[in-house]
Amino acid sequence: MRHYVWFVFGIFYSLLLGLIAGCSSSPQLSSERSTLEDAVDSIKTAYIPDRRVQIFDFDLSDDGLRLLGKTSNPESYQAVQDLQTRYPRLNLDSFSLVEPIGRALINVSVGNIRSFARHSSELSTQALMGHKMIVWEKRGGWYYIQTPNEYLGWIDSGALKILSEEEQREYQQADKMMYRDDFGFCYAEPDASSPVISDLTAGNIFRKKGMSGGMIHIELPDGRSGYIPSNTAVDLESLRSSEIPDWNSIKETAFQFLGRPYLWGGTSGKGVDCSGFTNMVYYLNGLELPRDASQQIKKGIEIPVDDRLTEVEPGDFLFFGTKDEDGRPDRVTHVAIYLGDGKMIHSSERVQVNSLFPEDPDFAPSRKETLLIAKRMITDKAMDPELQLKAINEDPGYGFY
């Protein structure tokens, strides 16, 4: 009996020691894991300041000894590898530098790009037919893609035409056109009463096959072919020599969007959010803008603002939001195009004109209160380098070779 008691006591004592050891090491393990997590976060912040345009995803195992994740940025990947000098036990076998798995073309008039790989997910942005996407990942019937202006998101496979390397070369070298009408259709025959092949919207890009019956014969990215009226599209090559547009061209395009519905994530004639509106107006005039207002504010030349906007000129961008607190950056939430005399055109509920002057009947007090800064986006100099804008004819993502 005595031996049995001592046996039980021995087991109890061993378990107690293990529990004590576990309790004493747990805070140390937790602290080390937290320190490592902070170090990886610092790398992410330093090398990937904007996750909308570069990939950096990571997680740590419960014991903090294995880093799982991926990045598309070589510098951040190397910085992560260098962590092993500080954390010799860290396992990095599951952290990778990812490369694109292919290229693809938007195959519908407007491709809806979402934050997550499901149709119920938020619409984050859109891309137009003929725009070339970088493909990073495939998950079921969804692809993780990157637009020509570098925005990342998920799109369903039905909106894409995956390209082989040979198809990429053929597409870049082919004669292409840009659709210029607000909306229209591609018909099966050179006759507007024939069946519809696809709808079309301003900015769509497709191959030009020739002329027939007074209509243009075109080919869509997936090989479907049809016909459009001859006055609805222009040769893409004609945009190659385009210089920076003047204010009259910008204004004319902006006013074509009047009354269009506000659509969160929208960047097409079918609906636009505030930055999607400015993005689309500039794209149709041959210039590329970043996707979001908080990205667009980093372009252009800053212009001083006062109550009467005396230094601001028609065509300048107005940015709105919340002013910084405690040294933090301003939070930009809205953008508009200035028209002069206190007026601006913007997408807010719908594309409309409002005033920043209290005496005007269309005064928008909330915008007056939240105006942060003005930026000049066009000048009288062709492609002024100070603007930091890029012409779409310099980007193969829009079909130029």
d(CA 178, CA 203): 6
Q: Which two tokens stand for residue 307?
A: 């109550």
Q: Where does 107-204 show beta strands of DSSP type E?
A: 110-114, 123-128, 132-139, 142-146, 152-156, 160-163, 176-179, 183-187, 196-201
Identify the CA nearest to 32 among candidates 51, 60, 2, 1.
60
Both tokens of 373, joined, read 């800064």
**Residue 133, strand partner residues:** 104
User: Which member of 119, 186, 217, 274 is catalytic?
Assistant: 274
For CA atoms 267, 269, 271, 273, the dihedral sign is: positive
* 88, two tokens: 């010799």
Closest CA to 84 of 106, 60, 65: 65
Active site residue 346: yes
The length of the chain in residues reads 401
**For residues 149 and 304, what is the distance between their CA atoms, to the nearest angstrom?**
28
Question: Is the CB of residue 324 less than 8 Å from the CB of residue 333?
Answer: no
Q: Which among 313, 312, 249, 314 has a CA at the least distance from the CA of 284?
A: 249
Q: Do the beta carbons of residue 152 and residue 145 sit within 8 Å? A: yes
Sheet holding 331-340, edge to edge: 301-303, 371-376, 317-322, 331-340, 343-348, 350-355
Alpha helices in 257-332 (DSSP H): 274-283, 293-296
Q: Is 217 a catalytic residue?
A: no
CA 5 to chain centre: 71
The single residue of 131, 186, 217, 346 carrying the catalytic annotation is 346
Query: Phi-psi region for residue 78, left (φ > 0), alpha (ψ -120 to 50) or beta?
Result: alpha
- Say which of 3, 131, 217, 334 is annotated catalytic: 334
Which residues make beta-bridge pairs with 154? 114, 144
CA dist list (Å): 296 to 73, 124, 180, 292? 22, 16, 24, 6
Are 364 and 334 spatial neighbours (Cβ–Cβ below 8 Å)?
Answer: no
| Catalytically annotated residues | 274, 334, 346
